[in-house]
Structure 1
Amino acid sequence: MSLSDLPLDELRGYRSLSVEPADFDQFWAKTLTEARGHDLAARFEPVATALSTLEVLDVTFAGFGGHPVKGWLVLPAGAREPLPVVVEYIGYGGGRGLPHSHLLWASAGFAHFVMDTRGQGAGWNGGDTPDPVGSASSFPGFMTRGVEDPETYYYRRLFTDAVRAVEAARAHPLVDASRTAVLGASQGGGITLAVAGLVPDLVAAAPDVPFLCDFPRATTITDRHPYREIGNYLKTFRGRTETVTRTLGYFDGVHFAARALAPALFSVALEDQTCPPSTVFAAFNAYAHEDKAIEVYDFNDHEGGGAYQQAAQLAWLPARLTA
């Protein structure tokens, strides 16, 4: 594979042409107000594992529509005082998986909350959270479920779940709510940007090769799924491009980035054909907080930096969580 997007010097100045809906803030304020009308009802149940240095809690909380959403809370064994918390979101098709898949952040001394992804979890890392809401015709996958109206779009539910996950994590007595960071890769990175734009008091955000950014460019520059799901939908439903584009404007990571109030560490891979680098830089360049950085992986596809990016996060995040 070779570079297929803009040169790096052009990426650093690239700006998205995504159009922000005039009622973007009102739409999300209304959505979150409705969600908070349901009792969060966060439950934390101890899980027996063979992890001698960590403790695991099986979490259930009320997300969008009051629907039950699952998660894991992983803590350093023997923790007695409230800890900074890292809330993590999962990539496309994945679920929360098994507890021993999530050792990094609790091993570094933090509380680690992993949100399951409603309706997903069959592609890799099994999930435990159904999506009880149906939709009209959609292309296989999640990108076009309810896509002709922002009220019914799948990611309205998922982004709302993600905000409620922060609230659930903060509800545990061993979590210091004032020191909350959010992170995730790919879809998880896109969700991270949404939460960074919707939750004003985070201390850090780390979107890794983020998905769900700069839809107008992403849907026309790459043939790779999941973005191609949108093109395939419009290939069948001719004449609906304007309607779908309007809906996607409410969920574009570029617009959430423009509202973010927390320091951020991004990553991008210059040979990424799943989340083309221009779409990642669109969000990075729009990101509102001046304390922001981006790790660039020159010859990588969507795997990005992998463990190298985790090392970068381990070097960057503690100072913000423990300040």
Structure 2
Amino acid sequence: MPLLDMPLEQLTQYAGRNPKPADFEEYWSRALDEMKSVEANVELVESDFQVPFADCFDLYFTGVRGARIHAKYVRPKNIAQPHPAIIQFHGYKGHAGDWNDKLIYASLGFSVIAMDCRGQGGTSEDTGGIKGTTFNGHIIRGLNDTPDNLLFRHIFLDTAQLAGIVMELPEVDADRVGVTGASQGGGLTLACAALEPRIKKLAPVFPFLCDYKRVWEMDQAKDAYLELSTFFRSFDPQHKKEEEIFTRLGYIDNQFLASRIKGEVLMGVGLMDSICPPSTQFAAYNKITSNKRLEIYPDFGHEGLPGLQDNIITFMLGL
């Protein structure tokens, strides 16, 4: 079998390389307190796109630091009882996508919510000093500031806040909410389920935002992780603050949030993934203590994994 990373037997035991901040738990307790103090001011606006069997809305809410966050919301018609919901998260720099790919779950009786990450390719705001998109460099935003200003802290909180909003919708059964996404969406799936432990099922696919130091040591700080290299070249060219920088990144490292997950997990990984190296994904997966299952694709990288989305639909039908 081709080998990009560690052999599989080592991956299943791998414990991660990135340092964990000593005050990690206090950090996220403080962050969640800030999130809970925000008045969400949820707004539903009927979309121009509509289909016969579901209602489609643009959903808006106010997240931490005053950012107005947008999500697409598809609600099936003619279902009398509260029903399950699926929350979807997109890849890095992307957006919530077209309406059509939400309709599969809606046709099965699920409400579907797809969030635009703040400052990326959709319409959610990044209020970090400007209006509109900042689009790039989100991993390193805040590294030269207090850890409470890390941008991915805010994005992680957006996912948990949205999950709580979804659970409060009268048409949704709060005990039957699942989350899914690939790449950045996979990382946000882990973060959401960790910060909102009422999530019942989660299906992360080759999750991003895990074990940053391992990415660096593998010389894979390129593509989605390129900004790590850019940061060192610009702000620490001799790596005098390397340990401090990676420790600060530890606040937004999903491997350290993973143990908080209570929901059932189905995760997909390609062992030839050079974008999100397999070991970084296993660093998070190995720390999950809830019921979990891993679908492994030995010859596949950061790409479509045949049959996996069908498996995820079947998995979510158990909600």
Check whether the contact 2:175–2:198 (CA below 8 A) recurs between aligned residues: yes
In structure 1, what is the Cα distance between the partners aligned to 2:60 and 2:168? 12
Displacement after TM superposition at 1:30 (Å): 1.1
Check whether the contact 1:35–1:65 (CA below 8 A) recurs between aligned residues: no
Check whether the contact 1:139–1:232 (CA below 8 A) recurs between aligned residues: no
Q: What RMSD, in angstroms, separates the aligned Cα atoms of the two structures?
A: 2.0
Counterpart residue number, 1:162: 159
Counterpart residue number, 1:204: 201
In structure 2, what is the Cα distance between the partners aligned to 1:65 and 1:215? 26
Counterpart residue number, 2:17: 17
Deviation per CA, 1:254-290, whole angstroms, max 9, x where unpaired? 111122111111110011000011111111111121x
Q: Which amino acid in the other structure matches residue 141 of structure 1?
A: G
Deviation per CA, 1:194-252, whole angstroms, max 9, x where unpaired? 12211122211111110001111022211432212112211222233223212111111
Check whether the contact 1:183–1:207 (CA below 8 A) recurs between aligned residues: yes
Q: Secondary structure at the match of 1:39?
A: coil
Check whether the contact 2:79–2:109 (CA below 8 A) recurs between aligned residues: no
1:187 and 2:184 are equivalent in the alignment: yes
Displacement after TM superposition at 1:29 (Å): 1.4
Displacement after TM superposition at 1:4 (Å): 1.2
Displacement after TM superposition at 1:46 (Å): 2.0
Q: Secondary structure at the match of 2:148?
A: coil
In structure 2, what is the Cα distance between the partners aligned to 1:170 and 1:250? 26
Q: Which amino acid in the other structure matches residue 216 of structure 2?
A: T
Aligned sequence identity (%): 34
Counterpart residue number, 2:109: 109
In structure 1, what is the Cα distance between the partners aligned to 2:27 and 2:153? 10
Instruction: Say which is worse superposed, 294-303 or 12-21, in terms of deviation.
Output: 12-21
Gap runs ≥5 in structure 1: 122-126
In structure 2, what is the Cα distance between the partners aligned to 1:232 and 1:311? 38
Counterpart residue number, 1:236: 234
1:144 and 2:143 are equivalent in the alignment: no
Check whether the contact 2:63–2:158 (CA below 8 A) recurs between aligned residues: yes
Check whether the contact 1:89–1:184 (CA below 8 A) recurs between aligned residues: yes
Check whether the contact 1:209–1:304 (CA below 8 A) recurs between aligned residues: no
Please give the residue correspondences for 1:43-82 in structure 2 after superposition, counting only pairs within 5 Å: 43-82=43-82
Check whether the contact 1:234–1:240 (CA below 8 A) recurs between aligned residues: no
Q: Which amino acid in the other structure matches residue 248 of structure 1?
A: L
Q: Which amino acid in the other structure matches residue 205 of structure 1?
A: L
Q: Are the structure 2 counterparts of residues 260 and 50 from structure 1 closer, same or farther at C-alpha, using a change threshold of 3 Å?
A: closer
Displacement after TM superposition at 1:104 (Å): 2.5
Q: Secondary structure at the match of 2:276?
A: coil
Q: Which amino acid in the other structure matches residue 139 of structure 2?
A: M
Instruction: Say which is worse superposed, 277-286 or 44-53, in terms of deviation.
Output: 44-53
Check whether the contact 2:120–2:136 (CA below 8 A) recurs between aligned residues: no
In structure 2, what is the Cα distance between the partners aligned to 1:66 and 1:247? 24
Deviation per CA, 1:134-164, whole angstroms, max 9, x where unpaired? 49xx995322111233211110110111111
Displacement after TM superposition at 1:48 (Å): 3.4
Q: Which amino acid in the other structure matches residue 34 of structure 1?
A: E
- TM-score of the superposed pair, with normalisation by structure 1: 0.90
Displacement after TM superposition at 1:51 (Å): 2.1
Check whether the contact 2:73–2:111 (CA below 8 A) recurs between aligned residues: yes
Q: Secondary structure at the match of 1:102?
A: helix
Counterpart residue number, 2:280: 279
In structure 2, what is the Cα distance between the partners aligned to 1:110 and 1:276? 33
